[in-house]
Amino acid sequence: MKRSRSRGYRIALFSVVVAALLVATGCTDFSEQDKQSRAGTFSSEPKLVPAPASTPPPQVETESPPPPGPCVDPDPNVITTCLASTGDLAPGDIQGNSTVVAERTTGKIITAKRYSEHKVVASFDVDGSGDGGLIAFAKSPTYGQDQLIYALITTPSDNRVVRVAPGDVAKPILVGIPKGPTGNMGAMFFNSPNELIVATGNTGNAAAARDPGSLAGKLLSITSLTSGSNARPKVLASGLGSNVSLCPSATTSNLYLADQTATEDRLSAVSKSGLKPLWTWPDKPQIAGCATANNAIFVTTTRTKHIEALKEPSAANPSVQKPTVILRNQYGALGRITSLPNGLLQFATVNKQYGKAVSTDDRVVKFMAPATPPDSRD
- Kindly state the percentage of the chain with pLDDT values over 70: 81
Q: Does residue 53 carry a pLDDT above 70?
A: no
pLDDT grade, residue 62 (50/70/90)? Answer: low
pLDDT grade, residue 374 (50/70/90)? Answer: low
Q: What is the pLDDT of residue 314?
A: 85
Measured between alpha carbons, how far is 246 from 54 in angstroms, rounded to an integer? 42
Q: What is the pLDDT of residue 64?
A: 65
315, part of any domain: yes
Contact 256, 292 (CB under 8 A): yes
Q: Does residue 241 carry a pLDDT above 60?
A: yes
* Domain total in the chain: 1
Better-scored residue on pLDDT, 342 or 67:
342
Measured between alpha carbons, how far is 358 from 214 in angstroms, rounded to an integer? 40
Over residues 174-185, the pLDDT tens digits come to 999 999 999 999
Instruction: Out of 2-6, 73-77, 201-205, 233-237, pick the least confident.
Output: 2-6
58, part of any domain: no
**Average pLDDT of the residues of the chain:** 86
**b or e along 65-93 (b: 16 or more beta carbons within 10 Å of the residue's beta carbon)?**
eeeeeebebeeeebbbbbbbbbbbbbbbb
Q: What is the pLDDT of residue 15?
A: 53
**Containing structural domain, residue 199:** 7-36+69-368
Q: What is the pLDDT of residue 371?
A: 82
pLDDT grade, residue 366 (50/70/90)? Answer: very high
pLDDT grade, residue 42 (50/70/90)? Answer: very low
281, part of any domain: yes
Mean predicted confidence (pLDDT) in 282-301? 97
Q: What is the pLDDT of residue 359?
A: 95
Q: Does residue 39 carry a pLDDT above 60?
A: no
Over residues 65-118, the pLDDT tens digits come to 677 778 999 999 999 999 999 999 999 999 999 999 999 999 999 999 999 999
47, part of any domain: no
53, part of any domain: no
Q: Does residue 311 carry a pLDDT above 50?
A: yes
178, part of any domain: yes
CATH number at residue 200: 2.120.10.30
146, part of any domain: yes
351, part of any domain: yes
Q: Which residues contact 28 (CB under 8 A, 6 or more apart)?
A: 107, 123, 124, 125, 162, 164, 169, 170
Measured between alpha carbons, how far is 354 from 360 in angstroms, rounded to an integer? 15
Over residues 130-165, the pLDDT tens digits come to 999 999 999 999 999 999 999 999 999 999 999 999
What's the predicted TM-score (pTM) here?
Answer: 0.83
pLDDT grade, residue 317 (50/70/90)? Answer: confident
Q: Does residue 261 carry a pLDDT above 50?
A: yes
